[in-house]
Amino acid sequence: MADEVNWSEYFASIVSVCPWSKAYWLKQKIDVCKWTGEIKPLGSFVARIYLHPRASGRRLKKMMWRMNEGRPNEEWLYSHPQYGGHSTPVGVLIQQDLETLTKARKGNKNNESKSSS
């Protein structure tokens, strides 16, 4: 299934809402795998996308909340094509390193404030 999605194209398409994702994808810092119920340590990855194509958006959201409650050093998100817009083409859970994500968000806000002044 990971082969069926053109992730390079997807990450290029979401740069406006997630500016660092394309760069991390190109640096091979985002892992894509099938959801098996096992949570893998991120290791050298900044994020992991767990493909869960049979799960509804509602189920993914519930799973995301449970992961965020139990894993304080990570931020979990979900995406499902039913929501349109910048959603992934298949249902996914996204595991991210909270510290790396926080630094990236702060860096992006600093760049936005510099460009607007």
Of the given ranges (14-23, 40-49, 58-67), which has the lowest mean pLDDT?
A: 14-23
Domain assignments of the chain as residue spans, ordered by start: 7-116
**Which among 66, 71, 90 has a CA at the least distance from the CA of 80?**
90
> pLDDT tens for residues 54-111?
999 999 999 999 999 999 899 999 999 999 999 999 999 999 988 887 787 677 555 4
pTM: 0.84
Q: Which helix (H) or strand (E) holds 59?
A: helix 57-70
The dihedral through the CA atoms of 32, 34, 35, 38 has a sign that is negative
Looking at residue 89, its pLDDT comes to 93
Looking at residue 32, its pLDDT comes to 97
Looking at residue 53, its pLDDT comes to 92
Looking at residue 43, its pLDDT comes to 93
What CA–CA distance (Å, rounded) separates 81 from 84?
Answer: 5
Q: CB–CB of 97/40 below 8 Å?
A: no
